[in-house]
Chains A and B, each alone.
Chain A
Amino acid sequence: MRVTVDQDKCCGAGNCVLLAPEVFDQREDDAIVVLLDERPAERLHAAVREASDVCPAGAIRLSETS
């Protein structure tokens, strides 16, 4: 799984950080998403998929290949 984030779309809700803190963080000043791990370990995949689906801004994209 490969994760990409669109910082321009991100609204800073932080749902992704609540769901997968090992993969996502937020910038200190404006809370825009910071990607910590673009190829997360398999045990995190379910949480990352959920983060992508619940992101209010649709700012998290996943590609499942490799």
Chain B
Amino acid sequence: MTGVPARVLVVGASAAGLATAEALRRKGYQGELTVLGAEQHAPYDRPPLSKQVLAGAWEPERAELRPSAHLSALDAAFILGDPAVGLDPATRTVRTGSGRALRADAVVVATGLRPRTLPGQDGLSGVHVLRTLDDAAALRADLLTASRVVVVGDGVLAAEIAATARRLGPAVTMAGPGPAPLAGRFGPLVSRLLAETHLENGVGLRLGAGVGGLTARHGRVTGVRLDTGEVLPADVVVVAIGCTPATDWLAGSGLRLDDGLVCDAHCRAADGIYAVGDVARWHHPGLDALIRLENRTNATEQAMAVAAAILGDDRPYAPVPYMWSDQFDTKIQVHGLPGPDAEVTIVDGAVADRRFVARYHRDGRVIGVLGWNMPKQVRLRRQEVVDARPDLTPALP
């Protein structure tokens, strides 16, 4: 493909898809722009779903990413409530569930993730996942009358759901294979502190054991069965054991699917086909590896890169990843990619004060900084991650 495409089709109407459309217009793109979304809702934001929306502090509409006037001003056709079911890369034609065939000169895949589930979970009442606005509404309704909740999983989403659910009143237990929440991501110091925070706030932790399945009676869940044989009784279960990239609709397209839609350093999967956000596994030139980031900031930052690539910019996408998590009164913010086995130094504040910045090193190099209730300081330390990787050219300065 040469030159600026006359028609761009963005498949996915969430944060990454919308941001791609916005970035194209901001960069002066005047061609035809279509955004196709599987859900009926106007584009909305997912991070508040496990926090403000689940807690009831926000009405669901507050999670909408843009007011409708802003969406109209984009001059894009939004086709909502119609999932993509197939793509022909040669003609760049996307088929939809309702039978549409949308042809474009550039197709951007922004279909995000699907939550993993436990065997036997489907059709069982009282069992939830949390990915969509409708999931959040259904879970909230159940939590309000629950007495015993088990959150299965030990990652960011599981920890946030456990914190929010606990504040709604029921007894809450987190169950997952790791030794502490987020241990696989941030290592022992931070994950132990997270465990303490959850315990202090009344969340029970039943970690360090795999979850084998669910117990049920008359079509309703009654508990979670651990690999040890132990059963944790529950009237509501939330399964937050990670997600898989939503690429099933691309099966048979000939595109390379391997834990996401595999792309080059320009987020390009094939001529005129790009991927953005949670679904994109691209070659990060700074890390010289294929990576996929499931975080909110990457959705917008990668969207800027994809829009630029569509318009002919040939800079690779090499971001400094950023994520945040709010659990109880703790605000964690992370720049870079800290690993569980990295060396950790406290560089600001003190762990005892529950206000600190931890710097993660590997082989003498700064790989990430994590702020615990020190958001401004951790942003100031972000530069150390950039400086440690002179090969980086982040889209954000």
A interface with B by C-beta (< 8 Å): 9, 11-15, 17-19, 26-28, 30-31, 49-50, 53-58
Contacts and interface: CB of A to CB of B under 8 A. Distances in A.
Ranked 10 nearest A-B pairs via Cβ: A31-B375, A14-B379, A54-B300, A56-B296, A12-B375, A58-B65, A18-B396, A26-B376, A53-B22, A31-B376
Task: Give the one of A13, A26, A55 with max B CB within 10 A.
Answer: A13
A27 B376 contact: yes
A31 B299 CA distance: 21
A15 B396 contact: yes
A30 B374 CA distance: 7
B304 interface: yes
B301 A14 contact: no
A31 B380 CA distance: 11
Contacts of B47: 11, 56-57
27 contacts: A11-B324, A12-B324, A12-B333, A12-B375, A13-B322, A13-B333, A14-B375, A14-B379, A15-B297, A18-B396, A26-B375, A28-B376, A30-B331, A31-B333, A31-B379, A53-B19, A54-B19, A54-B301, A54-B304, A54-B396, A55-B300, A56-B15, A56-B45, A56-B297, A56-B300, A58-B65, A58-B66
B397 A18 contact: yes
Q: Is the interface of A mostly helix, strand, loop or mixed?
A: loop
A11 B296 CA distance: 11
A57 B63 CA distance: 9
B44 to A, nearest CB: 10
A14 B376 contact: yes
A14 B322 CA distance: 10
Interface in B338-384: 375-376, 379, 382
A17 B397 CA distance: 10
Contacts of B375: 12, 14, 26, 30-31
A31 B297 CA distance: 16
Contacts of A58: 45, 65-66
Contacts, number: 65
Contact of B379 (A26, A30, A53, A57): A26
A54 B62 CA distance: 18
Interface string B45-72: 1010000000000000010011000000
A18 B297 CA distance: 13
B23 interface: yes
B192 to A, nearest CB: 24
B331 A17 contact: no
Contacts of A15: 297, 300, 322, 396
B376 A19 contact: no
A41 B26 CA distance: 19
A9 B45 CA distance: 11
A17 B47 CA distance: 21
A12 B331 contact: yes
A10 to B, nearest CB: 11
Given A49-B26, A58-B65, A13 B376 contact: no
Nearest to A12: B375
Given A14-B379, A55-B300, 9 more contacts: A12-B331, A12-B333, A18-B396, A18-B397, A26-B376, A30-B375, A53-B19, A56-B297, A58-B65
A50 B45 contact: no
A53 B26 contact: yes
A55 B382 CA distance: 17
A19 B297 CA distance: 14
Nearest to A26: B376
Nearest to B323: A13
Task: Give the one of B299, B379, B382 with max A CB within 10 A.
Answer: B379
Contacts of B297: 13, 15, 54, 56
A9 B296 CA distance: 14
A26 B66 CA distance: 23
